[in-house]
Amino acid sequence: MKKRHLKTKLLITLVGVTCAALVIVALAFNLIVQGYIKARVNSQLDAISSSVLNGRKNGPGSWTFDDRPDKATGARGNAVILSSEGELIVVLQGDMDTAEFIAESYSSGKLTAGGNYTTLTTEDGTYAVTLSEDAVLKNAYIASFIDITAITGLASSMNMILIAVIIVAIILCVILSRVFAKQLAKPVQSLSDYAKDIGEGDLEPRNMDFREAEFSGLADSMKRMAAALKESKSKQEVFFQNVSHELRTPLTSIRGNAEGIVYGVMEPKAAGQTIIRESDRLTSMVEDILYISRMERTGGAENAEPADLRDVLSLCVSEQRADAESRGLTFEFDFDDEPAMVRIPEKDAERIFGNIISNAIRYAKDTISLSCRAAGDKVTIRICDDGPGIPEKDMPHIFERFYKGEGGKHGIGLAIAKEAAEAYGGSLTAANAPGAAFTAVFPRE
């Protein structure tokens, strides 16, 4: 399909609409003018015929009639009497040449009796002629006629003026449409170039000031889009840098211990334990990354069955109790007696609260408190430790991927917990009370 420039399309549209409107106006004007002329000419010719007939009532020799000029047509009335054979009997008013031409036109069939007037053109001018039967003379006609050269000339002049106006209007329309199209195409081209640059990776904001509100709004939207893409790109770069760093550490350790075993410089059992520990760490990290990828792709599992979060919390504590007891920590529970049902897969709920509890175990001094309360249409879970709390400098970043505070593991657990909670319509926030306190809120099933 052939593409048209905006300027060409706008030009064609404006010129087409203008021409159509002017042609309609011209046609309407001509119809009105012609109708007016026809009505006034017919009225004057009827008046001439009536005047002649009224004069003939006084006798066959009475040929008087009103020949005053009509105000609308500006023409004087004329009349002649013709025989049925087309012979000129008498000229009541008018020059002989015109009278003879009318008689000849009747004889040749160009002029007939009855109906509207007939237009006859001679070298001297244009005449409107009607024939009506003579009530006194048998087989005779009264030919009433007026000179309409002036009024038809006026109509022609007005049409010429109208045509000139149409031509001037079209020229102005072409000029104005080109100017307007140029003004319209300039911001479109600027926005198009900006979009092209964004597509090619240039995400720097641009100051684009347009008079039109629509273009200005589109430019602002594109700026926000570029800023969002830039931020996303930056986060992606940081993410891959952090992933590379976090993966390199266990891989380096695994390779070093493996080489120590191969070259006999390390005790195999100790080196093997290190390899297993780092492999587990690497596996955990890869699983976390894959989990984040799945959450971003699917936004959470569909058709999840409701889960009782009290059971999920108890299971998470059981799985990490050995680690907590090895650190001398105890758990305190404050659960509702009634079920706290939330529509979320148990595995995803375990990953959320397992990460938070694991984080609490690393920082708690003596006790980790867990509460689960259902009220109205919400279920609120609160996990607190009695540790030093979250440093003020770390608080804005604790849910960022691969951000590690002092004593952190690999900086992805809390990011997974927050993103998973939000994927199922919940929220996760952190505060100090005075130790670290994490609060998760979910819609109740």
pLDDT 10s digits, 353-397:
988 998 899 899 999 999 999 988 999 999 999 999 888 888 888
Place of tokens 């006859």: 120
How far is it, in rounded angstroms, from Cα 38 to Cα 41? Answer: 5
In the predicted model, what is the mean pLDDT of the chain? 83
How far is it, in rounded angstroms, from Cα 231 to Cα 236? Answer: 8
Sequential DSSP letters for 26-59: HHHHHHHHHHHHHHHHHHHHHHHHHHHHHHHTT-
How open is the CA angle 373-377-382, to the nearest 5 degrees?
Answer: 30
Which residue type occupies 35?
G
Top-confidence residue, 187 or 428: 428
Going by C-alpha positions, the residue among 433, 442, 299 that lies closest to residue 379 is 442
CA dihedral 401, 402, 404, 408 (to 10 degrees): 100
pLDDT 10s digits, 28-78:
888 888 888 888 888 888 888 888 877 766 555 556 666 777 776 778 888
* pTM of the predicted model over 0.85: no
Per-state percent for the chain, helix, strand, coil, to nearest 5: 55, 15, 30
How far is it, in rounded angstroms, from Cα 215 to Cα 350? Answer: 49
How far is it, in rounded angstroms, from Cα 369 to Cα 438? Answer: 11
Going by C-alpha positions, the residue among 359, 362, 361, 346 that lies closest to residue 313 is 346
Q: What is the pLDDT of residue 370?
A: 94
Cβ-based burial of 392 (10 A; exposed 0-12, middle 13-18, buried ≥19): exposed
Residue 400 — very low, low, confident or very high, per pLDDT cuts 50/70/90? confident
Distances (CA, A) of 252 to 244, 247, 249, 274: 12, 9, 5, 11
Whether the per-residue pLDDT at 293 is higher than 80: the answer is: no
SS3 (DSSP) at 316: helix
pLDDT 10s digits, 176-205:
877 877 777 778 778 888 888 888 887 787
Residue 313 — very low, low, confident or very high, per pLDDT cuts 50/70/90? very high
Signed CA dihedral, 171, 176, 177, 181: sign only: positive
Place of tokens 């109205």: 376
Which residue type occupies 299?
G
Token pair belonging to 345: 């897969």
Q: What is the pLDDT of residue 92?
A: 86
Phi then psi for 342, rounded to 5 degrees?
A: -135, 140
Residue 248 — very low, low, confident or very high, per pLDDT cuts 50/70/90? confident
Mean pLDDT of 319-327: 90
Domains in the chain (CATH in brackets) are: 6-155 (3.30.450), 230-297 (1.10.287.130), 299-443 (3.30.565.10)
pLDDT 10s digits, 114-148:
778 899 988 888 999 999 887 777 788 889 999 98
Q: What is the pLDDT of residue 318?
A: 92
Top-confidence residue, 316 or 301: 316
Residues 6+ apart with CB under 8 A from 267: none
Q: What is the pLDDT of residue 133?
A: 85
Q: What is the pLDDT of residue 59?
A: 55
How far is it, in rounded angstroms, from Cα 215 to Cα 220? Answer: 9
Whether the per-residue pLDDT at 403 is higher than 90: the answer is: no
Place of tokens 């006609």: 141
Going by C-alpha positions, the residue among 421, 276, 273 that lies closest to residue 354 is 421
β 306-308/341-343 pair status? antiparallel
Phi then psi for 257, rounded to 5 degrees?
A: -70, -35
Mean pLDDT of 300-309: 75
pLDDT 10s digits, 404-413:
666 555 567 7
Whether the per-residue pLDDT at 431 is higher than 80: the answer is: yes
How far is it, in rounded angstroms, from Cα 213 to Cα 166? Answer: 34
SS3 (DSSP) at 274: helix
pLDDT 10s digits, 155-171:
888 888 888 888 888 88
pLDDT 10s digits, 2-21:
666 666 777 777 778 888 88
Residue 274 — very low, low, confident or very high, per pLDDT cuts 50/70/90? confident
- How many CA within 13 A on the CB side of residue 392? 0
Q: What is the pLDDT of residue 178?
A: 77
Residues 6+ apart with CB under 8 A from 285: 246, 247, 250, 410, 412
Q: What is the pLDDT of residue 329?
A: 93
The answer to whether the beta carbons of residues 440 and 430 sit under 8 Å apart is: no
Residues 6+ apart with CB under 8 A from 33: 155, 158
Mean pLDDT of 329-351: 90
Report which secondary-structure segment, H or E, holds 4: none
How far is it, in rounded angstroms, from Cα 232 to Cα 369? Answer: 36
